[in-house]
Amino acid sequence: MSRDDSLSILIVDDSAFFVSLLADKLESNYGMTTTMATNAGEAMLELNRKPVDCIVSDFRMPETDGLELYEMVDEQYDIPFILLTGEGGEEIASRAIRMGIDEYLMKQAVREDEPLELLVNRIQNVVEQRRTQRKYERLVDNTPDEIGQISLTGEILAANETMAIAFDVSQKELVGKQLSEFIPDDVAATRLKQSKRAITAGSAVTFQDSIGVRHFHNIAVPLSTAGEVDSVQLVTREITHQKRNEQELEQKTEKLSMINRIVRHDINNDVQLLMGWADIVRDHVDEAGMATVDRIDDTSSHIAELTAIARDFVESLEDDTEIDLEFVNLGRTIKAEVDKKRTAYEDATFVVDELPVIRVRANELLTSVFGNILSNAVRHNDSAEPEVHVDFHETESDVVVEVADNGPGVPDERKEEIFGKGRMGPKSPGTGVGLHLVYTLVNQYGGDVWVEDNEPRGSIFVVKLPKPTN
């Protein structure tokens, strides 16, 4: 604390000479502002008139001694209190400490310390400590968590306002009571058991418990008083809403898994049967009926493609919170998907530049990224001869793959919508779940995807993936 940080001190002593002498030295040598009183009554009047940063009081005074004055002050104010006494008995020191006096000094030591460095140092320390304590108390009282100091016997030694509100009592009504008076006995016993664990371990212990339908996350932190660990700070946060969300998420994940099983097995098996029957029928229809068989075959292929997209989409959702990435050969992945599309879309032309010999951090669903973009480039292409060009280039930190087509292109106002960013659903404006899956996967890989205009017509889908840092 700097000299410029002027402190206001109330000096109380029945010796007007000593008060005047002390006040003069504190003001002239240390720039402090002082107020003088020769008894407890005058001191309380001065406190009513204006606030002070610290009180320095003699112990032995007529009618009301220094400890009694401290009790009067403590009931109404939050002010550091230093007790001076000419009597050096351990009994007075012990009483002062038990009552909560901030500092206890021998009056003779103050008299002999001509620059008053000892007293000034104690004044500065207790004021700084009290200011720090007030900041902490404001922080504790403003937190949404319940915070209490609990003894080894379950007694509430201190509590913040949030804890008092939770139990519909005042903070003073909490102090001195047993924790079991406010929560069920079994929950109180568990919290006390975990608190003792924390003290034994010498470190914080976290645990969860429930009261009825409400769920709580608790942290027990050992606290020491006079060097002895005899209590804990118990921090309790309600997590009922979080628990409910976790349960709902678990239920949704189970439903998604069921849908995934249906898509991967039941629907896909039926589609394969349908495609097989179409091949059999093809040998038994005339030329007029062949167009219908082709449409059946094409539609079946599209359904098979959609089931693959749905499968990959469900898997991407299941891994949405934490995804395991590995090194994947980008060039090999693109080549495999282009070869598949050349087989599936015989009327389309695919032109691929020299493929990169580079790996990116992704997973097996990277095939869905380029498979969906390539399919989209053909399926939504209105040209008589669909053409798809795949190019790539590198920057210092990324690999950029461009898939260009000669289709109708994408209007500027729909360039964001087609990916269904942030609002994919039955009424979303995107072209389907395929491009939303592309967007979801690329983001999981730490990359980006967007669409640009091609010249003279068509679109360019751009996929940017980060290079591995190592």
Domain segments of the chain as ranges = 8-139, 143-238, 240-318, 323-470
Q: CA dist 41 to 22, 45, 84, 219, 280, Å?
A: 20, 6, 18, 46, 111
Task: Give one DSSP letter per residue of 61-86, joined into a string.
Answer: -SSS-HHHHHHHHHHH----EEEEES
Q: What is the pLDDT of residue 81?
A: 95
Residue 147 and residue 142: Cα distance in Å, rounded?
A: 11
For the record, the structure tokens of 383 come out as 């040209």
Q: What is the pLDDT of residue 155?
A: 94
- pTM, entire model: 0.45
Q: Tell which CATH architecture fits domain 8-139.
A: 3-Layer(aba) Sandwich (3.40)
Provide the β-strand partners of residue 220: 205, 234
Residue 215 and residue 222: Cα distance in Å, rounded?
A: 23
Q: What is the pLDDT of residue 25?
A: 92
Residue 323 and residue 361: Cα distance in Å, rounded?
A: 11
For the record, the structure tokens of 87 come out as 């009597």
Return the H-helix or E-strand segment holding 22.
helix 16-30
Contact between residue 331 and residue 358 where contact means Cβ atoms under 8 Å apart: yes
387 by Cβ neighbours in 10 Å (0-12 / 13-18 / 19+) ranks as: middle
For the record, the structure tokens of 128 come out as 């700084």
DSSP 178: B
For the record, the structure tokens of 454 come out as 């091609």
Contact between residue 446 and residue 361 where contact means Cβ atoms under 8 Å apart: yes
- Asked if domains 8-139 and 143-238 share a fold, the reply is no
Contact between residue 72 and residue 40 where contact means Cβ atoms under 8 Å apart: yes
Residue recorded with tokens 């029928």? 281
Q: Compute φ and ψ for 4, nearest 5 degrees.
A: -70, -20
Domain spanning 143-238: which CATH class is it, in words?
Answer: alpha beta
Q: What is the pLDDT of residue 363?
A: 87
Tell me the average confidence (pLDDT) per consecutive run of 10 residues in the chain, 470 residues long: 71 94 92 94 94 94 92 92 79 82 85 83 91 72 87 91 92 92 96 95 94 94 74 93 85 73 69 81 82 80 72 64 80 92 90 87 90 90 93 92 94 87 43 76 92 94 89
Cα angle 111-117-121, degrees, rounded to a multiple of 5: 120
Contact between residue 119 and residue 113 where contact means Cβ atoms under 8 Å apart: yes
Q: CA dist 456 to 152, 189, 400, 405, 409, Å?
A: 80, 76, 22, 10, 10
Contact between residue 438 and residue 419 where contact means Cβ atoms under 8 Å apart: yes
Provide the β-strand partners of residue 229: 224
Where in 107-227 does DSSP place strands (E)? 146-151, 156-159, 205-211, 214-225
Strand bridging mode 103-106 / 81-85: parallel
Contact between residue 307 and residue 271 where contact means Cβ atoms under 8 Å apart: yes
Task: Give one DSSP letter per residue of 353-382, joined into a string.
Answer: PPPP--EEEE-TTHHHHHHHHHHHHHHT--
Contact between residue 428 and residue 434 where contact means Cβ atoms under 8 Å apart: no
Residue 462 and residue 221: Cα distance in Å, rounded?
A: 52
Q: Compute φ and ψ for 377, nearest 5 degrees.
A: -65, -25
Cα angle 456-459-462, degrees, rounded to a multiple of 5: 130
In a 13 Å sphere around the CA of 437, the CA atoms on its Cβ side amount to 25
Residue 333 and residue 129: Cα distance in Å, rounded?
A: 65
For the record, the structure tokens of 209 come out as 């418990």
3-state SS assignment for residue 54: strand
Residue 274 and residue 268: Cα distance in Å, rounded?
A: 10
CB burial of 223-259 (b: ≥16 within 10 Å; e: otherwise) equals beeeeeeebbbbbbbbbeeebeeeeeeeeeeeeeeee
Q: Find, among 7, 6, 112, the residue nearest to 56 by Cα.
A: 7
Q: Tell which CATH architecture fits domain 323-470.
A: 2-Layer Sandwich (3.30)
Cα angle 222-227-231, degrees, rounded to a multiple of 5: 30
Q: Among positive and negative, which fits the CA dihedral 94, 97, 99, 101?
A: positive
3-state SS assignment for residue 102: coil
Residue 55 and residue 43: Cα distance in Å, rounded?
A: 9
